[in-house]
Structure 1
Amino acid sequence: MWFEILPSIGVIFGALCLGQAATAFVPNMILGRPGMKRLFHPYEFDNYLRDQQLTGSPYKLQGLEAIPDEVEADKK
């Protein structure tokens, strides 16, 4: 009958959900950082470029100590 297809649909649906979960969590588990999801937001791309310029890696974040002071630059 028609209900005999329900287990097959459940297996296919489960495999699709597992694939989606794997793409979300595998980069974080293997690489120790999230994937490129942070670039999907338009305002985050500017922060990505800023971090790349200041630290050499967009994933190694530093705070205000990474930005040079203009006063110290004028004294030298």
Structure 2
Amino acid sequence: MDNQTLLKKAADRLQTWLDERSQDGIATDMHDVEQYLSAYLYGDLADLCNLYGASDAQIGSYVRTFNEFIEAEMTKF
């Protein structure tokens, strides 16, 4: 699985999570988003290692790309 696919999944999952919180009337701040995305990152890393047999280089690349995604999302709050 490439970085773009993983980032698309992350963006979709984040939007679903934000929509659910909004529908439930739960306020969401930057800290909430950062915690959620960090938890998602570690879950995906486990999937990469276990399901896809990702190499250390692939995992490192994904972490760097995902950290950039988190930073970009933080600017929205």
TM-score, normalised on structure 1?
0.28
Q: Which protein has the larger Cα radius of gyration, Structure 1 or Structure 2?
A: 1
Larger RCO: Structure 1 or Structure 2 (Cα < 8 Å, ≥ 6 residues apart)? 2
TM-score, normalised on structure 2?
0.28
